[in-house]
Every structure is written in C-alpha cells, then in structure tokens.
C-alpha cells in the first residue's frame, strides 16, 4: 500500500501496517496536514477542517478577502513565516533583501520505491526485508526562490514513518537560515494530550516526566553542543488516559547529536503543533545560490497499545535499521572488563595483564584499557590530543600488549576522547588555532580540557589519521569513544565573523565525518559511545555505535531508573551496563541482574576479588550468555515503575516466538510484616504452559500474566530474582 496520491481529492496518504498519515494539497496550494493515527484506508479526512472567521488572524492575499481562511488556524505540514500564522514556525529565513518571510506553496511531489538518503547526516536505512517507499513534496517561495523539500519514508511492516527536510537556495543571492525544523505536525485537537519527556542530569540521565498540555509552548531542547545529559531528543504525545499497555501514543525521535529543539504549542483553539529539529540558538546558516541545507531525520511511530507498544516499535526498528555494525545482529557481544575503576590512570602493561588474568576467571572475554595510555597522561590535566602510545607505561608497546591479552584467549579494547584537547599537550602547543576559543577572551575550561574545532577539515583529518594508525597497529576488538564536556566558546578560526552561527552545526557535521572515516572503515571493531556517561545518547550516535554507556552512575539501584527511562525508546542491546564496586552493600548477584538489562560487563579491579567472588561472577557471566538471545533480541516489558512508590522493580524480556522469557526482579524496599507481593508477567501465550527455572514448577501463560509469581518476603535487602520461563506445550 505504501504511499497513495488521490488526484481527485489531492490527498497523499502514507500507510504502514497499522497506521495512516494524510496530507492534502489545498486549493491555494498550501500543504495541509489532515490525519495521523489508526489505518483509515484512503478516506479523505479534509472534512474535519472547519472554516470560520478567526478574528485578528491574517488571511492570505490570494484568498480574496475570504476571512474564513487563515493560516493561523489551518493544520499545516510545514508552516510558513510571516503569512498570518502566529504559532511557532517551521522555518525562519532571512532573504537576500533582508526580509523575514517564507511563503511556501506546493509545486510538485514524487513517490519512489526505497528509502531516501541524506548526504551530510546519519539516517535510518532500508534492509533487504523491508518494504519502504519515499514521498518528496516540494514547496517554493516564488518571490525569494527558496525551495523546501519535505522527505517522508514509510516502513510498512515496521509501522514507522521517517521525515527530513532539505532547503535549497534557487535565487541569485545568498540567504540565511535562522531556524529549520525537520518536523511540523498539527493536531486538530490536543487539549486532552500529555507530553512525556526524558530529562535528567549527569549521573541521572533519562528520568521520566509527564505533563498535561496547557496553552503554552512546552519546550524541550539542548544548547550544550550535544543532545546532553539534561534532555534527550525524544518525546511522546499521548492521550490523557494512556498507560503502559493501553492508549494512543505518538513518538518522535530526532537523529541528531547536537543542539536540538522540540516545541509543543497548544494554541487558542486547542490545536496542538509540534515542531522538532536543530535548536535555533546561535544558529545562522548561510546558503549561497544553489546550495542545499539538510535537516536531521525524525523517526515517528504511533500505537494504540500504550507506552509498551510504542517502545516495541522503536526497539525493533532501531535494532535493525539504525546501525549497520555486524555486532547488532550477526556477532554476539563479549563480556568485558574496563580498567577505569580498577586502576584509573595508574597502570602499566604488567598491571593490565594481571587484571586480564584475574578477569579470565570471572568469565570475561575482553579487557578494555581506559584513559591514561597515551601522550603524557597521568591525570586529567594533560595529554589529550596526543594520540600515540606512552611507552613509559606500556613498556612492551601496544602491539605486544595486545598479543599478551590475546594469548590469554581474551580480546583487547581501548579508550579515546577524540574531540577534546589538553592545554598541556603537544597538539595544543603545535596547533592552538585548532581550539574553539573566542578571540580576546579566556576559554571556559571543563574537566581541565578544551574542545577541538571539529568543524575544521584539518582537525578532522588529524583525528582520522592518528586514531586509524592506532587501530591498525594492533588487533583492537573494541573502542570506547568518549566526550567529557559540553561546548562553550563557540568560535572557529576558519570562518569569518558573520558565519560563526554555523559552527555548532558544522561541529556535528565534522564529527559525523570523522566517525564515518573511522568507525565505518573498521567493521570488525565493536565501538561503544560515551559522553560523561549518557550525555549524548541519541539515534545519531547509535547510527555509529551499536551500544552506548547509559551513565557514569553505576549504583545498581539508581540504574533501575536509568534503564527504565532509557527503555522508552532505546532497546536493551544499546544500553552499556556493568557491575562495579558502587553500592558496596548490594549483592553481586543483584548487580549482575541489573547489568543484564544491558550489554553486561565489569568496572572493577578483578585482582581484588577472592575466589568465591570470581566464581559468582563467572556464573553470572555464563547466565548472561545463556539469556543473551532473550535480552538482545526479545521484546522488553516494564513490569513496574521505579518512579512510583513500591517495594520492588521488575522487568521482562520475551522472545519473539514467545517460547522463552526472563523476568528480573530487584527488591528495593523491605517492609516489616508486609503483604505478599506478586509480579505479573506480560507478552506470554495465554494457553501455553511455562516451566519456571527448569524445575517441576509449571504455570499457564494466563496464570502468570493475570495472577503472577509470588516474590519471597523474608529475604536480605536488595535481593534479586530471575525467573527463566520456557514453554513446554500448549
């Protein structure tokens, strides 16, 4: 079905398996939004739009004084600028004559097979199993000759629609973009909607907040140079009655790793407009004649099955259509141990080998050498940017160190922070002009480091060459790619003063180019992203990394909330999660259960564990491998909400064929002589029988979902449970 154009009604309808999205080329050639929701076949939904005289709302000149037609009340696919619509705009352009105006009319559309591609930005892709089609609608301002191409791709079976935008200057003089949103979506009535977002802070990323829509502009965004710890480029608009399992939910996920903005405005008529794209703060982008600007992709999904239904759509799509790494579907990921909390920067090759030997007894497959191996790097005041091995520490050389780890039948990983530089470094002394620093002003330091100007081609080329030389020198299996500060002092010595408004975006474009040249040219290396933890956990990054470090906060009880919030849009297989020394009174077994809601690994000194502890770790590592196919490929269910009062947190993974399931429970609050508690499963076959943990205990799926499993009460604090359910018969 895909995309259908009705030449009689001039409607264009996008169909997925269970949803429809419709727009209409209006009688004045404005592109109007009509519908997004459950499937409607090809019904013309324009009957919903009622025409009234909207007082003090302007009327387009060509409407011939028809006071009942105002763009201030029309639902639009891409809103105009300075044409009588006073709501939040999709675009702000300064034309060559200095005017602020965009009057876009439809000049054509094209429907093609396959998924569109973006030349400068990461985007989702079509696989061999997908049925996908693309719509391109062209809007033109006939006065300024500014052309906007709206791109839509429909993934029918996945119930996913993606959107992006291209702006082209067809005029003879330069124009300047001051705002460009990739998404504009107008709901005819949004007064009964809620907005769900994932705010947070360092160490507490992606917490969950829900608020009623009110007659204001609700803003979510970042101006920190990255998508940030404080916000995430994802939101849900849902019905007031929506729950985990029931209710209408619309999801919007922006594939961009820099400054972003989402604005949800409930207007005077209870219409709701959502726009989403690059944050316009300190954004002024020059487009010379014939130049094109691309806006990032937005991934949209709709379901009537609540937050869980929405999460499943994103999880399935992002597992298969976001990152092309072989570690997403083809190769099982290793259990790793990271040297950071074991040694920080105080290590040498001998110490690393000893950690690896001890970790081998824990069932670990991979040793990661974290910060401190390069340049003159004994603390965080020096060395960043000097990407060559410090052989005062790694005395045997990197190549031989990797060989020693490989001889233990283990793999080797390494840490980089490419985007930053220390003032005490050879790189800074040689190229101070490569740093972002406003002329005549002292730079803002953060973690005693400065930011390289990633918008510069020479900076990009230096990083590509120096990092590739390290990766090609030894058998590197894994790379942790970090960034440990937000951006300030936004300035590029490469650009004239009048074009400094381009630096934020050019930084991200440069970063993507570097990752294209390093990550995509090393398909056999497992890359993991990190930004002071989860400060840049977004689909743009996950296009390159199959996994991302959820947070620097490894406390397993805090992690329950971190994993819960992250799971609203990002699948378990992307969540970097480790066992560490954090939470000293929490049992190792419980730490392992929490880490299994992610990629699983260790962040501790293996040489300090006794044989009993190593044996426990080895058992947990083997359990992770046993359950890997359930955790990484199955459906994920949030069984409890850790942000609400309760005595335990529980979650569940179920294989696609529903033959196996893993229920995980952590007791977080012991109460004296409290009631018996039960955990109700989800996603099972009601008429099937399931065996519990390989014992003689067998229950029907209906019983497990409606009555639940009893959780023992007389247990130590922070006890955890795992219930492995295996289908026996119908």
Give the catalytic positions in this structure.
482, 552
The Cα–Cα gap between 158 and 286 comes to 37
Query: What is the rounded CA–CA span in Å between residue 571 and residue 254?
Result: 16
The residues pairing with 605 across neighbouring beta strands, listed in sequence order, are none
β-pairing, 234-239 vs 249-254, is antiparallel
Angle CA 102–103–106, to nearest 5: 125
- Edge-to-edge strand order for the sheet containing 689-692? 635-638, 648-654, 660-667, 720-729, 689-692, 698-700
Contacts of 664 (CB under 8 A, 6+ apart): 593, 596, 597, 650, 651, 652, 720, 721, 722
Q: Which token pair is 486?
A: 């937000």
Q: Which two tokens stand for residue 191?
A: 């007064």
Tokens coding 425: 């470094």
Rounded (to 5) percent helix, strand, coil in the chain: 20, 30, 45
Strand ranges, E, within 533-688: 547-549, 575-576, 579-580, 601-603, 635-638, 648-654, 660-667, 677-679
Contact 167, 146 (CB under 8 A): yes
**653 is written with which tokens?**
């993974």
3-class SS of residue 696: coil
**Closest residue by Cα to residue 195 from 273, 269, 257, 255:** 273
528 near 416, Cβ under 8 Å? Answer: no
Residue 583: alpha-carbon gap to chain centroid: 28
Under a CB-based contact definition with an 8 Å cutoff, are residues 14 and 152 in contact? yes
Is-contact 620 609, C-beta < 8 A? no
Whether the Cβ atoms of residue 594 and residue 562 lie closer than 8 Å to each other: no
């Amino acid at each position: 079905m895909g995309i259908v154009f009705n030449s009689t009604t001039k409607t264009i309808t996008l169909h997925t398996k269970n949803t429809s999205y419709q727009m209409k080329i209006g009688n004045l050639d404005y592109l109007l939004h009509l519908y997004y929701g459950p499937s409607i076949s090809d019904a013309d939904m324009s009957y919903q739009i009622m025409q009234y005289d909207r007082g003090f709302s302007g009327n387009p000149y060509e409407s011939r004084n028809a006071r009942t037609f105002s763009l201030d009340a029309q639902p639009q696919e891409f809103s105009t600028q300075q044409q009588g619509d006073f709501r939040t705009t999709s675009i702000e352009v300064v034309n060559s004559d200095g005017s602020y105006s965009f009057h876009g009319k439809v000049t054509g559309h094209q429907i093609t097979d396959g998924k569109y591609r973006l030349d400068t930005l990461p985007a989702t892709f079509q696989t061999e199993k997908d049925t996908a089609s693309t719509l391109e609608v062209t809007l033109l301002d006939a006065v300024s000759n500014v052309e906007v191409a709206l791109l839509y791709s429909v993934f029918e079976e996945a119930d996913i629609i993606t959107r992006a935008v291209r702006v082209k200057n067809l005029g003879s003089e330069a124009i300047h973009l001051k705002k460009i949103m990739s998404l504009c979506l107008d709901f005819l009535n949004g007064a009964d909607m809620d907005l769900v977002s994932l705010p947070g802070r360092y160490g507490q990323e992606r917490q969950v907040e829900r608020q009623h829509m009110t007659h204001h502009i609700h803003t979510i965004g970042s101006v920190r140079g990255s998508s940030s710890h404080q916000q995430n480029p994802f939101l849900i608009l849902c019905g007031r009655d929506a729950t985990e399992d029931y209710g209408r939910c619309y999801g919007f996920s922006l594939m961009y790793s820099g400054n972003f903005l989402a604005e949800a405005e409930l207007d005077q008529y209870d219409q709701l407009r959502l726009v989403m794209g690059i944050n316009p703060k300190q954004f002024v982008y020059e487009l010379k004649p014939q130049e094109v600007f691309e806006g990032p992709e937005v991934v949209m999904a709709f379901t009537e099955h609540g937050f869980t239904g929405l999460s499943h759509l994103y999880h399935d799509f992002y597992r298969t259509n976001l990152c092309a790494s072989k570690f997403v579907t083809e190769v099982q990921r290793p259990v790793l141990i990271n040297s950071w909390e074991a040694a920080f920067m105080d290590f040498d090759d001998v110490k690393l080998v000893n950690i690896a030997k001890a970790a081998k007894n824990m069932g670990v497959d991979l040793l990661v050498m974290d910060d401190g191996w390069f340049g003159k790097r004994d603390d965080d005041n020096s060395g960043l940017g000097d990407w060559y091995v410090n052989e005062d520490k790694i005395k045997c050389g990197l190549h031989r160190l990797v060989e020693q780890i490989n001889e233990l039948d283990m793999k080797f990983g390494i840490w980089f922070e490419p985007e930053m530089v220390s003032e005490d470094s050879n790189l800074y002394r040689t190229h101070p002009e490569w740093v972002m620093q406003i002329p005549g002003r002292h730079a803002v330091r953060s973690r005693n480091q400065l930011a390289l100007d990633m918008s510069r081609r020479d900076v990009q080329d230096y990083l590509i060459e120096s990092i590739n030389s390290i990766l090609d020198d030894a058998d590197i299996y894994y790379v942790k790619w970090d960034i440990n500060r937000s951006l300030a002092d936004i300035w590029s010595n490469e650009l004239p003063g009048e074009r400094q408004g381009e630096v934020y975006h050019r930084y991200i474009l440069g970063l993507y180019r570097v990752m294209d040249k390093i990550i995509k040219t090393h398909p056999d290396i497992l890359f993991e992203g990190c930004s002071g933890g989860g400060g840049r956990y977004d689909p743009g990054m996950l296009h390159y990394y199959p996994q991302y470090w959820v947070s620097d906060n490894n406390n397993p009880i805090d992690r329950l909330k971190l994993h819960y919030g992250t799971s609203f849009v990002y699948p378990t297989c992307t969540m970097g999660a480790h066992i560490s020394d954090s939470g000293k009174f929490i049992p190792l077994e419980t730490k392992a259960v929490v880490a299994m809601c992610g990629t699983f690994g260790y962040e501790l000194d293996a040489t300090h564990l006794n044989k009993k502890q190593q044996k426990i770790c080895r058992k947990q590592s083997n359990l992770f491998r046993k359950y890997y196919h359930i955790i990484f490929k199955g459906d994920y269910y949030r069984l409890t909400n850790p942000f609400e009062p309760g005595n335990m947190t529980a979650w569940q993974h179920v294989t696609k064929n529903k033959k196996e399931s893993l229920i995980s429970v952590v007791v977080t609050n012991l109460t004296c002589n409290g009631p018996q508690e039960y955990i109700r499963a989800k996603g099972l076959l009601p008429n099937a029988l399931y065996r519990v943990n390989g014992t003689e205990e067998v229950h029907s799926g209906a019983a497990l979902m409606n009555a639940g499993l009893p959780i023992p009460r007389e247990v130590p604090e922070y006890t955890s449970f795992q219930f492995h359910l295996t289908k026996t018969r119908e």
